[in-house]
């Protein structure tokens, strides 16, 4: 198992995500590098209904492995959206950002395990107790039902928030990089597999928490794309070179006239960035 693989996580699911590949042969390394972009890129199915999502999955599933289902699609289609992706051979990152009292989030986490999601997240601002109880409940439930334990990530600070919003509206005095690093340390203390953080915070997280910690980076915009409501953005190359394990891209792909062409271009860019 690669050194960067989170404890208790299936090797096959993570063999492409490790930052440290020194424990595998040169041939294995070459094979992993060729397949790595497919594992790194997650496409966000931020659409209104199941039919739209289904069209995107059927078009892209041969090129990427994981699709993000967020509040928009889940509110419309619920668990049917998860089933649709899985039935077509994809994996699911369920992006619902749980933030509630510990017992409520733990029980919800157990239900997600039974749905067979591969990744889900919860807010680090819910505190260590909430995160720890939820992670423990999810892993215990996975063992009970005979399913692989999902990757559990802590959401730090949304990429739509900038320094001004953090300090003036939320009254948090730390700068974003230091605050995200602090929240990431709470996630690791609670036993989560990693965090969701923008590219600008990756190097500090890596320096503080090491390589054996997964970082998923949203707010990804290919060069020339609209920023929309995002504030802390990066290109795919910038995120991967900074040390991201996984990146999420939504609107630049799903709103394109040819989503597959955009995916192929991003995969090529990721391949060149390794």
Q: CB pairs under 8 A, 24+ apart, for 7-10?
A: 8/139, 8/149, 9/148, 9/149, 9/151, 9/193, 10/148, 10/149
* Whole-number Å distance between alpha carbons of 166 and 172: 6
Q: Is 86 designated active site?
A: no
- In a 13 Å sphere around the CA of 214, the CA atoms on its Cβ side amount to 29
Q: Which residue in 83, 97, 107, 231 is the catalytic one?
A: 97
92-126: b (≥16 Cβ within 10 Å) or e:
bbbbbbbbeebeebbebbbebbebbbbbbbbbbeb
Torsion of CA 103, 104, 110, 114, to 10 degrees: 160
Our separate counts of H helices and E strands in the chain read 13, 8
Q: Is the dihedral of CA 264, 2, 95, 92 positive or negative?
A: positive
**Catalytic residue ranges:** 97
């Amino acid at each position: 198992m690669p050194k960067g693989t989170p404890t208790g996580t299936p090797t096959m699911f993570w063999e492409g995500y490790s930052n440290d590949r020194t424990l595998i042969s040169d041939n294995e390394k070459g094979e992993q590098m060729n397949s790595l972009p497919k594992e790194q890129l997650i496409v966000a199915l931020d659409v209104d209904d199941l039919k739209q999502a289904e069209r995107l999955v059927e078009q892209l599933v041969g090129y990427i492995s994981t699709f993000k289902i967020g509040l928009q699609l889940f509110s419309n289609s619920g668990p049917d959206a998860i089933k649709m992706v899985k039935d077509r051979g994809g994996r699911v990152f369920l992006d619902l950002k749980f933030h509630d009292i510990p017992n409520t989030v733990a029980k919800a986490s157990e239900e997600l395990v039974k749905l067979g999601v591969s990744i889900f997240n919860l807010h680090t601002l819910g505190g260590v107790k909430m995160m720890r109880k939820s992670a423990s409940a999810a892993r215990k439930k996975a063992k009970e039902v005979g399913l692989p334990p999902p990757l559990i990530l802590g959401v730090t600070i949304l990429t739509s928030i900038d320094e001004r919003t953090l300090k003036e509206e939320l009254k948090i005095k730390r700068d974003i990089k230091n605050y995200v690093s602090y929240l990431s340390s709470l996630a690791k203390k609670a036993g989560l597999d990693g965090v969701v953080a923008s590219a600008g915070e990756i190097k500090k997280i890596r320096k503080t928490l090491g390589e054996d910690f997964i970082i998923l980076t949203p707010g990804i915009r290919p060069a020339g794309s609209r920023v929309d409501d995002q504030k802390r953005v990066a290109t795919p190359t910038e995120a991967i070179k900074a040390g991201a394990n996984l990146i999420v891209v939504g609107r630049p792909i799903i709103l394109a006239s040819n989503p597959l062409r955009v995916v192929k271009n991003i995969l090529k860019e990721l391949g060149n960035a390794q």
